[in-house]
Each structure stands twice: as C-alpha cells, then as structure tokens.
Amino acid sequence: MDKRAYWLWLTVVFGAASPRLWQLGDKYDTVKEFAYALTSNECERLTNGEIKRIKGFSLQKADEIIKKCEKDNIAVYCYESEGYPQQLKKIAAPPAVLFCKGNPDFLNNNPAAAVAGSRNPSEYSKTAVKVICSDLCARGCSIITGLAEGIDQLAAEAALESNAFVCGVCGRDIDADYPKGSGELKERICQRGVILSETCSYMNSPPVSFSNRNRILVGLSDALVFIECSENSRGLDNVHHAVSQGKQIFTVPPHDITDKRYFGQRDLLRRGCKPIFGGEDFVYYVCASRIEDFSFDIIGGKYETLEDSAVFRSPDAVTVKPKARKKRVAGSGKSAVREEADGVKKDYSTLTGIKADICRIIQSKPMLADGIAELLGEDISKVLSELTVLELEGYVKSLPGKMFGVV
C-alpha cells in the first residue's frame, strides 16, 4: 500500500496537528509497523476517541482519499515523501501529511519570509507591505502568507506582481472556499507557487485551529515579518511560534505611536524585535544561516550601493537537496554513551531526571527547545533552564538556528 495512506490514516486517527502521533509512534521503526500495532491493539494509552477512529476508518479509505485528491489535481505529500518541506521537519509536531495545489519544490530551495498583519490595514501599512514584499522578492526571497484578507492577500499580490514564488497556507481544507471569495487569488498563486493545508474535505476532519495553521506558516519561513498589529491582535500568535521555533521577528515601525492600530508593533520593538525598512534588513539577517545562497548583484547595476545589492542566488543554482530525515522523539532507546567523531566518548550515565531525558532526545539530532519541551510534556521555561545548566556543564551545546545538540 502507498506509504502516504498510512500517514493519512494516522492523521485521521490522532487528528491533524496532534503531537500524539509522534509521541506514541516513537518506538516503531516504520509507519507501517506503527499502524499495524494500532489496529492490533498493541499500542497502549489510547483515548476512547482514538480507538473509535481506528475502528471506523480503514487504511483502504485513506488510500481512496489520496486517489480522489489526485483526480482533483491535489498532490498529497507525507512526512517521508520526496519534496516534503525540510523546514517543517524542524518544528514540533510537523504535519504528517500535506495537501498541495501547485508546485512546492521552491520551499526546499528559496529563502522565505512569512508575512502577517491586520485584516483591516491602514493606508500606510498597505504601502509598506507592497514596498517591502516587492523588495524581498527582488532579492530572491519567497513569500509565505495565511491568505486572510488584508495584509496576507496584499503580500501575495505583491509577490505575484514581482513574479516571485508564493505559498499560501490554508486555515481550512485545501478545497474549501476559504477565505470566502479567494478562489481567483489561489488559482494565480498555484500557477507561480503552492497552496497547502493539513486537511481536505474528503477526510471530514474537524477544522485545524489557526494557531496550528500558523505553526506551519512560520515553520516554512526563515523569519517572520509583521506589517501591522494592535496589542491584542490574534495575529500575534505567529510571534509565539516564531519565538518557539527560534525564528527572527521583523516589524514595520509604527506610522503613529499614539494610534492603537500600531501598539502591537510598538511592543514588539520594545521586546527586541528588529525593525524592517526594506528587503536588505531581512536578507542580511538570513544570510547568516544560508550563506551558501547569498551573493551580491551589482554587475547589472540594479542597485546603486553594495549594501542595497544583497540578494539570494537563483534557486536554479541550488542542486543539492537535503536528504529526508525520519522523525524521532523521546524514548528511542539510544545508548547513554555517545561516540564522537574523534573517538572521544561523553558519559551521560550520571545524569538523571529531566537532564537525562533532554540528552536522550537530542542525541540523534539537534532540536529546538520547544520541540524538546513538547516531547517531555514540560514547560518551555523549565526546559530552557535545564538546557542552560547542561550547556554550562559541558553536556549540551547551542547550534545555529537556536537548536540544541549534545557535545
């Protein structure tokens, strides 16, 4: 059976965006083995709802959904699929399946900015989003948006006008008319990029929360750009995901410091977020982690100064694709002693409690603090505190992108 069917089946059983799939599936080597354990009643700690869905939704049904989607020109990617966005494999509870319209290949090659803001932006913000997004696109960046009215759609329009790649992350089923009346914009995006979602109408699944949608939107990006927000804006949920995923946050300086429409931006700047005035602010930050994609384009005279000429190389120059990695979570049973490349062993056997659990989790691959916290079921502040102690004691090291790995 198609491997995607197993992942889709698991998504229906546990629910889209649920961390339960990763928590319970850790001890199984393959997705097929995990699915068999669930259908054979070999997996413990299942809820009544999960048991009911296991009995009521077959693998054959999952396979039929994939075939229906393909007839509707909806591509289905699973966590193990070639072309699955590599950035999403770094976040906590990555989507097990993604439904896509268009071509998502650019998501693995192009630097990308997640753009968010008000649904009822001021004229100042409308101008700002067009200028900044156009400049970002001119410098080789892609734009990721949530497709909502206002800033989201204006960002997508600016990218399309610049003939750049665009990704729209749906808050509802991939085939739903949501936001209402956005069908024409979605069609245009599909011609130059991709629309994606964790669900489709054939699944009959409960709607994914917009917070879970935002984890994907931010997860696909290199950094978040906030154009306009009040201090109580629901869009500030994107900031929470950016912080937990170790992504930089840029915000447009307020047009009027006394206008409540900009108090969210005011507060973000107070808390250390970076102001953005043009694409170069974003590019210079992101190039630190994507230096192989960074270059200066002054030969054609497009920019007047070296500082303004900071751009990313064409994605056509990127020939090496990252290898797919298997998602592993806590309890993998790895040895407490890790063999270093130079032959030196680090002994973790003296560690106990949460410190030992943290080292076991990041032994196979580095992770963000929020991913560690989610797997442990601990508060992020406690995990960060323990990571600091482990780093001081020489067991853990900080890595680029705010990742943590063992020494």
Q: What is the pLDDT of residues 66-76, one digit of tens each?
A: 999 999 999 99
The tokens describing 346, both together, are 């680090």
Residue 26 pLDDT grade (very low, low, confident, very high; cuts 50, 70, 90) = confident
- In this prediction, residue 385 carries a pLDDT of 77
Alpha helix (H) residue ranges in 247-368: 263-270, 279-286, 353-361
With a cut of 80, say whether residue 236 has pLDDT above it. yes
> 105-317 and 337-406 share one CATH topology?
no
Q: Report CA 95 to chain centroid distance, whole Å.
A: 9
Residues 6+ apart with CB under 8 A from 387: 358, 369, 372, 396, 404
- In this prediction, residue 324 carries a pLDDT of 41
Residue 318 pLDDT grade (very low, low, confident, very high; cuts 50, 70, 90) = very low
- The ranges assigned to domains in the chain are 3-75, 105-317, 337-406
Residue 133 CA: distances (Å) to CA of 162, 163, 261, 293, 374: 9, 12, 21, 19, 33
Tokens 């917070």 locate to 211
Pairing of the two strands 142-145 and 112-116: parallel
The tokens describing 154, both together, are 């204006």
Q: What is the pLDDT of residues 113-160, one digit of tens each?
A: 999 999 999 999 999 999 999 999 999 999 999 999 999 999 999 999
With a cut of 60, say whether residue 336 has pLDDT above it. no
Task: Average the pLDDT over each of 14-18, 223-227, 350-354 and give the range with the smallest value.
Answer: 350-354
pLDDT mean over 293-303: 48
- In this prediction, residue 305 carries a pLDDT of 52
Could you please state the CATH topology (level 3) that the domain comprising 105-317 is classified under: Rossmann fold (3.40.50)
Distance, in Å, from the CA atom of 124 to the CA atom of 227, rounded to the nearest integer, reads 10
> Which runs of E-coded beta strand occur in 282-399?
294-296, 310-312, 337-339, 345-347, 367-368, 396-399
39 or 397: which leads in pLDDT: 39
The tokens describing 133, both together, are 């997004």
The tokens describing 168, both together, are 């729209």
Tokens 């009521």 locate to 56
The tokens describing 92, both together, are 């906590």
- In this prediction, residue 307 carries a pLDDT of 52
Helix-helix angle 3-14:59-71, to 10 degrees: 110
- For the chain, give the mean pLDDT: 86
Q: Which CATH architecture has domain 337-406?
A: Orthogonal Bundle (1.10)
List the one residue out of 272, 234, 211, 215 whose CA is nearest residue 150. 234
Return phi, psi of residue 140, to 5°.
Answer: 95, 10
Which helix (H) or strand (E) covers residue 91, if one does? none
- In this prediction, residue 289 carries a pLDDT of 63
The tokens describing 85, both together, are 């966005």
Residue 310 pLDDT grade (very low, low, confident, very high; cuts 50, 70, 90) = low
User: Could you give the 3-state DSSP secondary structure of residue 153?
Assistant: helix
